């Protein structure tokens, strides 16, 4: 799980950094989206991953798992690029960073969900 977390984090950072550094070349981006806003958005996404690590270190396994699922699923937001421009309107590097983030994010979310299932998440949630 640690390796998957690290790979997803790296893919996410790479995608957001590519967005920020080549923002002028992305088709259809709103004018309010700036270099700074892209990096701030990545920090917000990364904070969810950081919180999952903190929860895990504190022994809060179920909370860590839920946060890890959310963190991974945030990677799916990369697909929103395709609402602004077709695949063919993006560069190969753009498409590669989008799909790396999406696939690794979904894989991380699924792995975390399986771990939650083993921890008996439904039983624990029913007690609330």
User: Looking at per-residue confidence, does 20 or 90 come out higher?
Assistant: 20
CB 46 within 8 A of CB 12: yes
Higher pLDDT pick, 19 / 122: 19
For the segment 3-29, the average pLDDT, to the nearest whole number, is 91
107 falls within a domain: yes
Is 29 among the domain residues? Answer: no
Confidence of residue 26 (pLDDT cuts 50, 70, 90): confident
Q: Is residue 106 part of a domain?
A: yes
pTM, two decimals, is 0.87
- Note whether residue 109 is domain-resident: yes
Sign of the torsion formed by the C-alpha atoms of 26, 94, 14 and 66: positive
Is residue 115, in this structure, part of any structural domain at all? Answer: yes
Q: Does a structural domain hold residue 28?
A: no
- Predicted pLDDT of residue 82: 86
Domain count for the chain, please give it: 1
Residue 35 Cα distances to 23, 31, 41, angstroms: 7, 11, 10
Take residue 108 and report the two structure tokens written for it.
């991380």
Percent of the chain scored above 70 by pLDDT?
A: 94
Is the predicted pLDDT of residue 121 greater than 80, yes or no? no
pLDDT for position 127: 42
User: What is the token pair recorded at 117?
Assistant: 């299932």
More confident residue, 96 or 86: 96
Q: Per-residue confidence at 119, pLDDT binned at 50, 70, 90?
A: confident
In a domain, 86, yes or no: yes
């Amino acid at each position: 799980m640690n390796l998957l977390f690290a790979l997803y984090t790296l893919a996410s950072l790479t995608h957001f950094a590519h967005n920020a550094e080549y923002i002028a070349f992305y088709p259809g981006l709103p004018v309010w989206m700036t270099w700074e806003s892209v990096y701030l958005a990545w920090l917000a996404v990364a904070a969810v991953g950081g919180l999952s690590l903190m929860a895990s270190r504190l022994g809060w396994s179920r909370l860590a798992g839920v946060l890890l699922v959310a963190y991974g699923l945030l990677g799916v937001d990369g697909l929103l690029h395709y609402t602004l421009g077709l695949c063919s309107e993006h560069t190969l590097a753009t498409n590669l960073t989008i799909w790396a983030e999406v696939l690794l994010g979904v894989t991380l979310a699924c792995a975390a969900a399986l771990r939650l299932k083993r921890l008996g998440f439904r039983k624990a949630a029913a007690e609330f």
